[in-house]
Chain A
């Protein structure tokens, strides 16, 4: 119970008025940058680092934590309202969230995202406080072959985001995988498919593809249909708050999303995207109304949003216990620690206990502040949908382009964005789902390097994947998930033939 005692001490540091102000500034900035596509929390924290050098370490780290959590909240808002994910972890949220918003249920979608994020972050922050040293021991044992097993499961589950036609889904996934090959091969440093364009050596940025396919594609599609038959989204239908049924359908996905998100976020190469895919699939399978998926199922927003925020807290586990930043924002926060001569790592919890627990406590506080800030804003956000469509989509085009340019000011990047926009338009026009393309770009390079690292360690022996129980189990799960539906179909057909 030592930890509880330390946590109470942490709260006494975090509720000092000055630190509360820092937390408030952090969540405000974080929400703002999360809403704008392209400008992520990493860039914001990097810009603020020199400014905060003069402040005391506690205050500025508390502010950074606020920005970090705030960015996660903000990213989902645009995904739901405008079908424009602010960052890649919100791609899945856009699938159901935007359908809900179009049907006049933007309010409940935003509410379940905000409350789900709150619940998930609360539980995951508690997990960070009490389980971090334990969890990290498991996490470092996660070897390349285990990552490969996890990727296989992710690939199989992605089929849930395919929509009606698996063939169209696979085509879209293949496009994403192909994009994922572009750039320097991480293991050998050789260029692949770059055609001599140096800007392509780092590969295609996930946010550029997501913003291009989703936001620009959407805007072009709307424009193409506007003249013939203008679509009128319902700004608000029914209550803007969650109904009793919404609550009943949301709380389990929140908890399940948290359970998936936190441990995967804590893996050194886990990330926030994979848990959102897994959560979406799980909710779709478990839902009593699976037919609503694709037309605006609240579970499809609640689960992935919870998974997203839980993984954000999970990311702090390797950062604080190993000094290992697993996301760009965490890398910048590491620099923040170092500028006060504090080295996160195995000794951080003992050497700077006061600071760590102050940070954990302020994560709790930032989380409460975000909920208080976001719930009243929902009423304001849904008004966005009342803006006449040409203006709204004109604004989206401007923001999407500006955001991309802010992240990476290059002509090539803008051309890519425009190109992806046109592809996104064509995919919508011919009814291909866009999400699998983004998924392919995220998972492809991860699976590629996990596979080849494993083989490099085993000197080329493929048995390495089956010799380790953990990876063997994951591969078996993926195989069963892939084959079982066909087997059942085949069996059913076989019996029919016999009759």
Chain B
């Protein structure tokens, strides 16, 4: 009996060790990344980029990307949280839009309920005016808004998204009531671009990359970017450098199962950490026109909490959240 207990103990200990060591051999990871959006969008392409580099650098044996589109990502997030069972192979790619969507859709789940692994990229937003607009600087724009907030027509991406939030922040900085901001939402930066080029709007907000071509060709005048520091190759200066205390980045990050713990969690963190420090990743995000905005898990966790509070207060001031 004693002998049996002893051997059983040994087996248990051994399997325990095996469980602990198995995930550490990173190349054995077989992962599934959920992009809570349709094929072709920003989260989808970020998820597929991560998939590509993780496999190319040997940080994972196989990576599969699944799309669960719907409601700014809240459908995918609800499914991700609902299926949670502590699995070590399930990842979710999401960003600031999901923070806003969870709040304005009154979603029962939000990003504070999943385990942050790393913040990956952060795209600067840009504020532009049409090329023949009398508005030449960000101060001109602020003055125009202050004069009559209703006739200052903003165009940008979906209602309650990062573009809308930035328009509200600038309106507030101009000393006008952010709940009065005349923001016309389009399904994305592309459609809003047509409204800008057609001269139907006062100012527009979008991801810098989406309008880069028109800014470089001179069809749009970039007044400022929302990134905290100047960026190589972007002429427009940050809002912060122009005297406005506004910082807003369209960040994307990767999350894991809410209940993943211990060695499994460490394995995921190191696999993603190694991936984003590889040359392959740096080359790829450069090619896609994304800015590196890496933050490790702990920093990312505090960031999510503060970002959720901030977005909630802005959305409340616009009147999109209660």
| Chain A residues in the interface with B (C-beta under 8 A) | 42-43, 45-47, 49-50, 53, 139-144, 184-191, 198-199, 201-202, 268-269, 318, 322-326, 328, 331-332, 335, 338-341, 343-348, 408-410, 453, 456-457, 459
- B304: CB under 8 A from chain A? no
Which single member of B185, B194, B286, B289 contacts A139 (CB below 8 Å)?
B194
CA distance A347 to B195 in the complex (A): 19
Residues of chain B within 8 A of A201, CB atoms compared: 70-72, 74-75, 105
Which single member of A189, A326, A346 contacts B213 (CB below 8 Å)?
A346
CA distance A53 to B185 in the complex (A): 33
The 6 closest A-B pairs by CB, nearest first: A345-B213, A189-B159, A46-B39, A201-B71, A268-B194, A332-B40
B159 and A348 contacting across the interface, CB-CB below 8 Å: no
- B134: CB under 8 A from chain A? no
Given the interface contacts A184-B71, A201-B105, does A346 sit within 8 Å of B191 by beta carbon? no
CA distance A25 to B160 in the complex (A): 42
Mind listing 10 A-B residue pairs with CB under 8 Å? A45-B40, A186-B186, A188-B159, A189-B160, A198-B74, A198-B107, A268-B191, A269-B191, A343-B213, A459-B150
Between A and B, how many residue pairs show CB distances below 8 Å? 152
Interface centre among A187, A198, A325, A335 (most CB of B within 10 A): A198
B residues 101-119 near A (Cβ < 8 Å) are 104-105, 107
Given the interface contacts A184-B71, A189-B185, A328-B38, does A348 sit within 8 Å of B213 by beta carbon? yes
- B184: CB under 8 A from chain A? yes
CA distance A331 to B197 in the complex (A): 19
Which single member of A144, A190, A322, A338 contacts B288 (CB below 8 Å)?
A338
B75 and A140 contacting across the interface, CB-CB below 8 Å: no
Which single member of A139, A187, A325 contacts B190 (CB below 8 Å)?
A325
Besides A346-B214, A409-B66, 4 other A-B contacts (C-beta < 8 A) = A46-B40, A189-B104, A198-B78, A201-B75
Of B8-16, B45-53, B236-244, which binds chain A? B45-53
CA distance A205 to B242 in the complex (A): 44
A202 and B71 contacting across the interface, CB-CB below 8 Å: yes
Which single member of A143, A186, A343 contacts B289 (CB below 8 Å)?
A343
CA distance A190 to B39 in the complex (A): 24
Chain A proximity mask over B193-213: 1 for CB below 8 Å, otherwise 0: 111011011000000011011
Measured CB to CB, the nearest residue on chain B to A332 is: B40
B40 and A457 contacting across the interface, CB-CB below 8 Å: no
A339 and B287 contacting across the interface, CB-CB below 8 Å: yes
B153 and A457 contacting across the interface, CB-CB below 8 Å: yes
Residues of chain A within 8 A of B72, CB atoms compared: 184, 201
Residues of chain A within 8 A of B107, CB atoms compared: 198
| Chain B residues in the interface with A (C-beta under 8 A) | 38-41, 44-45, 48, 51-52, 66, 68-72, 74-75, 78, 104-105, 107, 150-151, 153, 158-160, 182, 184-187, 190-191, 193-195, 197-198, 200-201, 209-210, 212-214, 216-217, 219, 286-289, 320
Which single member of B75, B153, B194 contacts A322 (CB below 8 Å)?
B194
Minimum CB–CB distance for B275 against chain A, Å: 15
Given the interface contacts A322-B214, A323-B213, A331-B40, does A142 sit within 8 Å of B194 by beta carbon? yes
Minimum CB–CB distance for A464 against chain B, Å: 11
Residues of chain B within 8 A of A332, CB atoms compared: 39-40
B75 and A199 contacting across the interface, CB-CB below 8 Å: yes
Minimum CB–CB distance for B65 against chain A, Å: 9
B210 and A323 contacting across the interface, CB-CB below 8 Å: yes
B69 and A202 contacting across the interface, CB-CB below 8 Å: yes
Measured CB to CB, the nearest residue on chain A to B196 is: A140
Measured CB to CB, the nearest residue on chain A to B193 is: A324
Which single member of A43, A409, A453 contacts B184 (CB below 8 Å)?
A453
CA distance A187 to B181 in the complex (A): 13
Measured CB to CB, the nearest residue on chain A to B71 is: A201
CA distance A189 to B72 in the complex (A): 10
Residues of chain A within 8 A of B287, CB atoms compared: 338-341
Measured CB to CB, the nearest residue on chain B to A344 is: B213
Given the interface contacts A186-B185, A339-B287, A346-B213, does A141 sit within 8 Å of B198 by beta carbon? yes
Residues of chain A within 8 A of B191, CB atoms compared: 268-269, 324, 326
Given the interface contacts A139-B194, A140-B197, does A347 sit within 8 Å of B217 by beta carbon? yes
Given the interface contacts A140-B198, A340-B287, does A335 sit within 8 Å of B185 by beta carbon? no
Residues of chain A within 8 A of B210, CB atoms compared: 323
CA distance A340 to B186 in the complex (A): 27
B52 and A50 contacting across the interface, CB-CB below 8 Å: yes
Minimum CB–CB distance for B166 against chain A, Å: 15
Residues of chain B within 8 A of A340, CB atoms compared: 287
B159 and A198 contacting across the interface, CB-CB below 8 Å: no
Residues of chain A within 8 A of B153, CB atoms compared: 456-457
CA distance A269 to B44 in the complex (A): 23
Minimum CB–CB distance for A206 against chain B, Å: 14
CA distance A139 to B193 in the complex (A): 12
Residues of chain B within 8 A of A188, CB atoms compared: 159, 185, 320
Measured CB to CB, the nearest residue on chain B to A53 is: B52
CA distance A142 to B199 in the complex (A): 10
Residues of chain B within 8 A of A185, CB atoms compared: 159
A456 and B219 contacting across the interface, CB-CB below 8 Å: no
B200 and A143 contacting across the interface, CB-CB below 8 Å: yes
Minimum CB–CB distance for B51 against chain A, Å: 7
Residues of chain A within 8 A of B320, CB atoms compared: 188-190
Given the interface contacts A186-B187, A325-B190, does A202 sit within 8 Å of B39 by beta carbon? no
A328 and B184 contacting across the interface, CB-CB below 8 Å: no
Residues of chain A within 8 A of B286, CB atoms compared: 341
B185 and A198 contacting across the interface, CB-CB below 8 Å: no
CA distance A126 to B285 in the complex (A): 35
Residues of chain B within 8 A of A43, CB atoms compared: 39
Given the interface contacts A323-B210, A338-B289, does A199 sit within 8 Å of B70 by beta carbon? yes
B159 and A187 contacting across the interface, CB-CB below 8 Å: yes
Residues of chain A within 8 A of B289, CB atoms compared: 338, 343
A187 and B185 contacting across the interface, CB-CB below 8 Å: yes
B194 and A198 contacting across the interface, CB-CB below 8 Å: no
B44 and A186 contacting across the interface, CB-CB below 8 Å: no
Which single member of B70, B104, B159, B190 contacts A268 (CB below 8 Å)?
B190
Residues of chain B within 8 A of A345, CB atoms compared: 212-214, 216-217
B74 and A331 contacting across the interface, CB-CB below 8 Å: no
A143 and B198 contacting across the interface, CB-CB below 8 Å: yes
Minimum CB–CB distance for B174 against chain A, Å: 18
Given the interface contacts A189-B160, A456-B184, A459-B150, does A140 sit within 8 Å of B194 by beta carbon? yes
B200 and A457 contacting across the interface, CB-CB below 8 Å: yes
